[in-house]
Amino acid sequence: MLSRVADAIYWMNRYVERAENYARFMEVNFNLSLELPPDVSEQWKPLVVTTGDWQLYKSMHIDVEKNKVIHFLGFDPNNPNSIHNSLVNARENARAVRPEITREVWEQINFLYYFVKDGLSKKQWTKKDPRGFFLDIKKGCQLLYGILDSTISRTEGWHFGKIGQLVERSDKTSRVLDVKYHMLLPSVDAVGSPVDLVQWASLLKSVSAYDMYRKKWGKLVPIHIAEFLIFDMGFPRSILNCLSHAEQSIHAITGKEESYTNKAEKHMGRLKSNLEFADIEDIFNHGLHEYLDNFQKELNGVSETIFESFFSLDNFQDQTQTNTQ
C-alpha cells in the first residue's frame, strides 16, 4: 500500500474518532451542568483542557463561557480540532482514498460532514439545549464504525485505520481521567462529596463506561475507576485494550508477531508492556496526574514513530533502495 494512502486512511479514522469524542464530551458535560447543585458553578474549562486545546482557547477568548466553549469545540473554523474541522479533514482524507473505501463508508462520512455544516449555519451552539445535536453526531460516528467493520476487508488499509482510531481513543481516555483527578474539584475537602461522585459518574459516562464499570465494581471508587479505564482488557475504551489491539494491527501490517521490524512496533510494544506491568496502587502513590502526563508524552512518541515508519517520504525512499539492492 502506498504511504500516502495509508496515511489518509489512518487520519480519516483519527479525525472521526476525535469528532465522536468531542461530541460525547459536550453532551455529557451539559448533562453534568444540569445535575450539579445550585451553589456549584458550571465547569466548562476542564472540558477544553480535556481536549488539549486550552492554550488555543485562551489566545482567542478572555473568559470561559458555555456558548463560547461549545462553539470553540464544536464549530470554530479556527480550532483545527473542532468537530467541524475534524469532519472536514476526515472527509478530505476519505476523498483522497475513495477507491479504497466502500460507497457506504463514503456516504456516511458525507452525511456527517453536511450535518455539522448545517449545524454551523444554524448556529447550534446558541441553542438552549444542544444535546440532541451532539448525540446525533456521536451516533453518526458510531454508525460509521459499524459500517467500516462490516464492509471493509481486513487488509492493510483496515489495520491502518484501526491504529488511527485506537491511538486517538486511548489519548482521549487518558485526558478525561487526568482532568477529573487533577483539576475538577475545587478543594481536597470535596473528595467523596456528592459533587465528587456526580463528577466521577459523569467521567465514566463520557467514555461510555458507566454501565460496564458498575457491573464489575458497583460502588464509585476513584482507584477502581482509574484501574478500569487504564487496565481493563474487557472494556473496549480502556487504554490498555486500545494499545493492545493497535499493536495487533501493526503486527498484521508488518507480518511480525513476536519481534519488531521498525520504531513504531518497538515503541508501541514498550508502551503496552509498561502498562501491563504497572500497578494501580503504585500509580496512585506516585501521582496519577504525573503518570498520565507521562503516558500522553509516550503516546505522542508512538504517533511520531508511526509516521516515521510508515508514512514519511524518507521511509519510502529507504524501502525503495532496499528493494532495488
Tens-digit pLDDT profile for residues 138-190: 999 999 999 999 999 999 999 999 999 999 999 999 999 988 776 655 554 55
Residue 38: pLDDT band (50, 70, 90) is low
What is the percent of the chain where pLDDT is above 90?
Answer: 70
- Decide if pLDDT at 111 tops 70: yes
Closest CA relative to residue 159, chosen from 236, 249, 246: 249
| Residue of 318 and 177 predicted with greater confidence | 177
- Decide if pLDDT at 321 tops 50: no
The label of the residue with cell 480502556 reads: 238
Interhelix angle 263-276/239-254, rounded to 10 degrees, is: 150
Residue 130 three-state SS: coil
Residue 191: pLDDT band (50, 70, 90) is low
- 21 touches 74 (CB < 8 A): no
Strands (E), 49-146: none
Task: Give the per-residue pLDDT at 198.
Answer: 83
In a 10 Å sphere around its CB, with 0-12 CB exposed, 13-18 middle and 19+ buried, how is residue 19 labelled?
Answer: buried
DSSP 83: H
In this prediction, residues 57-78 reach a mean pLDDT of: 93
First-to-final CA distance of the chain: 20
pTM greater than 0.85: yes
Residue 320: pLDDT band (50, 70, 90) is very low
Task: Give the per-residue pLDDT at 325.
Answer: 39
Q: Which of 36-45, 250-259, 271-280 has the highest mean pLDDT?
A: 271-280
Per-residue b/e over 181-212, b at no fewer than 16 CB within 10 Å?
bbebbeeeeeeeeebbebbbbbbbbbbebbeb
Rounded to the nearest integer, the mean pLDDT of the chain is: 89
Calculate the dihedral angle through the C-alpha atoms of 158, 164, 165, 171, rounding to the nearest 10 degrees: 160
- Decide if pLDDT at 32 tops 90: no
Task: Give the per-residue pLDDT at 319.
Answer: 47
- Decide if pLDDT at 72 tops 60: yes
Phi-psi region of 187 (alpha: psi -120 to 50; beta: other; left: phi over 0): beta
What backbone phi and psi angles, to 5 degrees, belong to 275? -65, -45
- 244 touches 233 (CB < 8 A): yes
- Decide if pLDDT at 95 tops 50: yes
- Decide if pLDDT at 29 tops 80: yes
Residue 263: pLDDT band (50, 70, 90) is very high
In this prediction, residues 57-85 reach a mean pLDDT of: 94
CA distances from 156 to 10, 42, 169 (A): 11, 45, 20
- Decide if pLDDT at 313 tops 90: no
Residue 44 three-state SS: coil
Determine the residue type at 71. Answer: H
Which of the residue ranges 20-34, 127-141, 241-255 would you say has the lowest mean pLDDT?
20-34
Give the span between the Cα atoms of 131 and 207, in whole angstroms.
16
| Residue of 221 and 324 predicted with greater confidence | 221
Give the span between the Cα atoms of 232 and 275, in whole angstroms.
11
- 198 touches 32 (CB < 8 A): yes
| Residue of 79 and 186 predicted with greater confidence | 79
Cell representation of residue 63: 473568559
- Decide if pLDDT at 242 tops 70: yes
Q: Which residues contact 7 (CB under 8 A, 6 or more apart)?
A: 307, 310, 311
The label of the residue with cell 508477531 reads: 257
What is the percent of the chain where pLDDT is above 70?
Answer: 89
Residue 282: pLDDT band (50, 70, 90) is very high
